[in-house]
Structure 1
Amino acid sequence: MTRSSLRLVVLGDSIAYGTGAARAEDTLGRRLHGALTADGFSVELHVLAVPGAVSADLTAQVERARPLDADVAVVVIGANDLARFVPPEQAAAALRVAVGALRERGTDVVVVPAPDMSSVPFVPPAFRPLVQAACAQLQARQAAAVAAEGGSVAGVAAEVASAFAADAAMFSADRFHPSSAGYARIAAALAPAVLAAARARREEAA
């Protein structure tokens, strides 16, 4: 079988970077690399994500990605915007700029929206509805921003939130970042969207 070449970049925050994973192989980027490889792609992976990043920090990451001419970019962002109370319209506007810059260079963009942080163990039960509402508001603004620039949003937020809420083992020892098991769950939910983008490019090139 002839393998298709694919340049994949992963941008965003600590989840995109892999903080909390026990091994490099367990990180989101490496798991997506494995899924694409199994589908017949020869993958060149570049993880440019920075732990602690908010949406405004994507501009610098996109600039670093520019020389790579990526085929597909996976962007994971929003948790730190929520944690730092960045206004959702401001966070979404920064995301839109980043997605637009990537699309201008012909990169297909798959965005993983802000997680539902109400499932984080140290959030008091009484505050969880408020946290969940804030997350939903940001997710909606992110979806509109991404669509406006021709990117796609991976509809994984609800599925991942349910898995994390049901099993504390999804969290690493810091009770905030995903564990290796958590990254496996996120990657499994995200892989279909990334594979769809990669396969579409392969079909266009055929």
Structure 2
Amino acid sequence: MRLRLLGDSLAAGVGSTRREDTLGPLLAARLRAAGHKVDLRVHAVPGARSADLRAQVQAAIASGVDLAVVVIGANDLTRFVPAHVGAQQLHDAVADLRRAGAGVVVSTAPDLSVVAHVPPALRHVVSAVSRDYALAQQQAAIRAGAVVAHVEQAVTPRFAADPSLFAADRFHPSGAGYRVIAEALAPAVEAVLSA
């Protein structure tokens, strides 16, 4: 099973000190434990925005892809990409992957209000903008044929309560944080494989 990780620094594993504690290897290990033979490739690029998905999708299709996990949105938020623009770019990426025969799981933009650098007075605004962006992404991804992993519902409260889930930069997840995210992603991945 050709598993491909696309997206930004979260999909690439920035923040973890060990490669095996990043999303790709964690998901691959879970799938192997369930009896799948997994070929993992990570096409994600730190700093990527939704506009950068096209090149990653092309690379994934060129290498062969059965299941694509797309994690995108944080950099769109930090760079003020309008929600309708990023959502359309995500839609197009998912549609291309689906046309290539891949199952697709999308993890939408995180709630950036839990990041330590956000001033407390702005957290409610940042949270609302993050939610609106993620909703636009969710609708676009579903229209294009993806399964959306509702990672934020499970992950945001845990990251807000436990600083050890962040890496030293207080922005990216630590290895422990990636394990929490992978656990939240797993049901959607498993749903796509069983469909």
Question: 1:36 corresponds to which residue?
Answer: 31
Are 2:133 and 1:167 equivalent residues in the alignment? no
Given candidates 26, 42, 54, the residue that maps to 2:49 is 54
Are 2:145 and 1:150 equivalent residues in the alignment? yes
Are 2:96 and 1:101 equivalent residues in the alignment? yes
What is the aligned residue count? 195
Query: Which stretches of structure 1, 4 residues or longer, exceed 2 Å deviation after superposition?
Result: none
Q: Write the letter of the residue equivalent to 2:169.
A: D
Are 2:127 and 1:138 equivalent residues in the alignment? no
- Structure 1 residue runs of 5 or longer lacking an equivalent are 1-5, 201-206
Instruction: For residue 176 of structure 1, give the secondary structure of its aligned residue in structure 2.
Output: coil
Question: 1:198 corresponds to which residue?
Answer: 193
TM-score by length of 2: 0.98
Distance (whole Å) between structure 1 residues aligned to residue 146 and residue 183 of structure 2: 20
Instruction: For residue 37 of structure 2, give the secondary structure of its aligned residue in structure 1.
Output: strand
Distance (whole Å) between structure 1 residues aligned to residue 50 and residue 178 of structure 2: 21
TM-score by length of 1: 0.93
Q: Give 1:193 shift.
A: 1.1
2:72, 2:108 within 8 Å by CA — same for their partners in 1? Answer: yes
2:4, 2:65 within 8 Å by CA — same for their partners in 1? Answer: yes
Given candidates 160, 182, 185, the residue that maps to 1:187 is 182
Distance (whole Å) between structure 2 residues aligned to residue 48 and residue 72 of structure 1: 13
Q: Write the letter of the residue equivalent to 1:158.
A: Q
Structure showing greater radius of gyration is 1
Distance (whole Å) between structure 2 residues aligned to residue 158 and residue 88 of structure 1: 20
Question: 1:23 corresponds to which residue?
Answer: 18
Question: 2:63 corresponds to which residue?
Answer: 68
2:167, 2:174 within 8 Å by CA — same for their partners in 1? Answer: yes
- Structure 2 residue runs of 5 or longer lacking an equivalent are none
Matches within 5 A, 1:4-15: 6-15=1-10
Cα deviation, 1:14-58, whole Å, max 9, x if unaligned, reads 000000011010011000001000100000001000000000000
Instruction: For residue 65 of structure 2, give the secondary structure of its aligned residue in structure 1.
Output: coil
Percentage identity across aligned positions?
Answer: 53
Q: Give 1:197 shift.
A: 1.3
Instruction: For residue 27 of structure 2, give the secondary structure of its aligned residue in structure 1.
Output: helix
Distance (whole Å) between structure 1 residues aligned to residue 61 and residue 104 of structure 2: 14
Distance (whole Å) between structure 2 residues aligned to residue 150 and residue 13 of structure 1: 21
Cα deviation, 1:78-100, whole Å, max 9, x if unaligned, reads 00000111111111010011000
Q: Give 1:198 shift.
A: 1.9
Q: CA RMSD in A?
A: 0.7
Matches within 5 A, 1:74-85: 74-85=69-80
Are 2:111 and 1:121 equivalent residues in the alignment? no
Cα deviation, 1:139-187, whole Å, max 9, x if unaligned, reads 1100110111111110111211111001000100000000001001001
Question: 1:88 corresponds to which residue?
Answer: 83
Distance (whole Å) between structure 2 residues aligned to residue 169 and residue 11 of structure 1: 25
Q: Write the letter of the residue equivalent to 1:115.
A: P
Distance (whole Å) between structure 1 residues aligned to residue 97 and residue 166 of structure 2: 31
Distance (whole Å) between structure 2 residues aligned to residue 29 and residue 195 of structure 1: 14
Q: Write the letter of the residue equivalent to 1:77.
A: I
